[in-house]
Chains A and B, each alone.
Chain A
Amino acid sequence: EPEVTQTPSHQVTQMGQEVILRCVPISNHLYFYWYRQILGQKVEFLVSFYNNEISEKSEIFDDQFSVERPDGSNFTLKIRSTKLEDSAMYFCASSEGGTGAQYFGPGTRLLVL
């Protein structure tokens, strides 16, 4: 069964450093998303992406964040200058259409020191 994959599974970085989180969505899906989950809290929406552009973003997704689909399979989230409060699990998701079920990857655990 097709699934969303994410790399790396864990990332430790120093405050102020740039990180890039990578995702391979399900191949026939057209909509892509990033969510994050701070330890013990609920999942929070960051951004949705369709047709090579951002379609929606939350207030969390400020100028330090960017997304890109560099080729036909990868979808990346870049954090330019990480802060301590960026420490969280970051989940990529994809959906076939713009409505309905979103399928999540296993997540990248980011720790900013």
Chain B
Amino acid sequence: GQQLNQSPQSMFIQEGEDVSMNCTSSSIFNTWLWYKQDPGEGPVLLIALYKAGELTSNGRLTAQFGITRKDSFLNISASIPSDVGIYFCAGPYAGNNRKLIWGLGTSLAVNP
């Protein structure tokens, strides 16, 4: 079945640094979604990507839908302490746009 592989698994950075994380799959995706989850809370949608090659920003966050449709990356510029959390990529299961499959997440820690 479709799998989403996220890397890195965890990151520990200094406040102000830029961050990059990515998500890859052996299968083609038509949509890439990036979510952030704080401990004990629900995932919050950060960016949605619908078209190969699309580059979308949301404040300090930028995400791109890979040309091959098998990968996506998320960048965070000038990190701040509230960026701490787990970042998940997710995409609709093959042939069923309503069922999302998820990566295992990238855990981000920011040292003030």
Q: Which chain A residues have a beta carbon within 8 Å of chain B's beta carbons? A: 4, 6, 31, 33, 35, 42-45, 48, 50, 55-56, 58, 89, 91, 95, 98-107, 109
Contact = CB atoms under 8 A, between A and B. Distances in A.
A91 B43 contact: yes
A56 B105 contact: no
A80 B30 CA distance: 36
A98 B98 contact: yes
Interface of B: 30-31, 33, 35, 40-45, 48, 50, 88, 90, 92-93, 96-105
Which secondary structure characterizes the binding site on chain B? strand
Nearest to B42: A104
A43 B48 contact: no
Nearest to A103: B45
B88 A56 contact: no
8 contacts: A33-B98, A56-B98, A89-B40, A100-B50, A102-B100, A104-B35, A107-B41, A107-B42
B42 A91 contact: yes
